[in-house]
Amino acid sequence: MPAKGNIYPEVHVRSPKEQTWRVFRRNTLAMTGLWGLALLSVLTILAPWLAPYSASAQFSDALLMPPSWENHGNIDFFLGTDDLGRDLLSRLIFGARLTFGNGVLTVLIALLVGGSLGIVAGMSKGYQASILNHFLDTLLAIPSLLLAIILVAILGPSLLHTLIAITLALTPQFTRAIYIAVANEMQKEYLTALRLDGGSRWHMLRYGVLPNLSDTIVSQTTRGLSVAILDITAVGFLGLGAQAPKPEWGTMLADAMELVYLAPWTVALPGLAILLSVLVVNMVGEGLRQAINEVMD
């Protein structure tokens, strides 16, 4: 008996998330950045189990040992050691938690607080929105690094104070970006029709505004994460952030500056870690932004 064909085939319509992933996956640079971001995340979470030694362990018989591929290197210290005999690979792995991990934490807090304020301000009208708008303009006129340095100078040098300062410096940026996006979205015709139809503010926010904020959130989050990493390392380099012997990348860079000619790997490796972390974040963010825009268009 011949098989009967299906004259009404079902067409699978991919969701926006599936379409975004398909577009993103075709971007080689974005996928490379995603793998790099995944590696950074693994190092941040599993640092105590992946590092071959403790970050503070000192080996007096291996002072300033070059990386293992050099003539006088040793495979036991794959990336070499510093002037106190501490393994640089272990310190870089633990430093990923202090620099990258704390950067993610500050950005998430700034996104939550600043995004909530931006949504409330964008959906409101009158003097409240106007006051918040002018207040944000005043705060955004000050560079985030300068604001962080001022706050740390007032609170005192420490990593915790640095994270608080950077979070406070990033929050207005998220508030401003999301406020503008929400305010522009509220002017569109479909939301006007929804409002005239009797839709509540929560209904408009959930079904009309939030689904169209993904581009703004992705762009601002990746930009904020890059700024957070650079600010944490910059404040640490100036001696106002994480204090020695903590293996924060900026602090490691500052401690090794006197060894730049004697042991250049002690300066190059933390600097390379900072460069690569910012690079992969920007690659992923740009790839996501392009994918979202292509799907939305």
CATH of residue 292: 1.10.3720.10
Whether the predicted pLDDT of 164 surpasses 80 = yes
Q: Does residue 16 fall inside a structural domain? A: no
All residues at 6 or more sequence positions from 45 whose CB lies less than 8 Å from its CB, including other chains: none
Task: Look at residue 226 in the predicted model and tell me its pLDDT.
Answer: 93
What pLDDT, in 10s, does the model give residues 248-296? 999 999 999 988 899 999 999 999 999 999 999 999 999 988 888 887 7
Q: Does residue 86 fall inside a structural domain? A: yes
Task: Look at residue 7 in the predicted model and tell me its pLDDT.
Answer: 57
Number of domains in the chain: 1
Name the residue range of residue 36's domain: 21-53+68-296
CA–CA gap between residue 197 and residue 284 (Å, rounded): 40
What pLDDT, in 10s, does the model give residues 197-242? 766 677 777 777 777 788 888 889 998 999 999 999 999 998 888 8
CA–CA gap between residue 138 and residue 78 (Å, rounded): 49
Q: Does residue 84 fall inside a structural domain? A: yes
DSSP conformational letter for 51: -
All residues at 6 or more sequence positions from 26 whose CB lies less than 8 Å from its CB, including other chains: none
| Locus of tokens 């079904």 | 207
Q: Does residue 15 fall inside a structural domain? A: no
Q: Does residue 7 fall inside a structural domain? A: no
Whether the predicted pLDDT of 1 surpasses 70 = no
User: Mean pLDDT lowest for which of 3-17, 164-178, 236-250, 282-296?
Assistant: 3-17
pTM of the model: 0.88
CA angle at 251 for the pair 248 and 252, rounded to the nearest 5°: 80
Task: Look at residue 276 in the predicted model and tell me its pLDDT.
Answer: 95
Q: Does residue 267 fall inside a structural domain? A: yes
Whether the predicted pLDDT of 185 surpasses 90 = no
The token duo for 191 is: 């939301």
Q: Does residue 171 fall inside a structural domain? A: yes
The token duo for 7 is: 């004259």
Task: Look at residue 103 in the predicted model and tell me its pLDDT.
Answer: 94
Helices 265-296 & 88-96, crossing angle to 10 degrees? 30
Q: Does residue 206 fall inside a structural domain? A: yes
Find the mean pLDDT for residues 141-153. Answer: 81
Task: Look at residue 152 in the predicted model and tell me its pLDDT.
Answer: 85
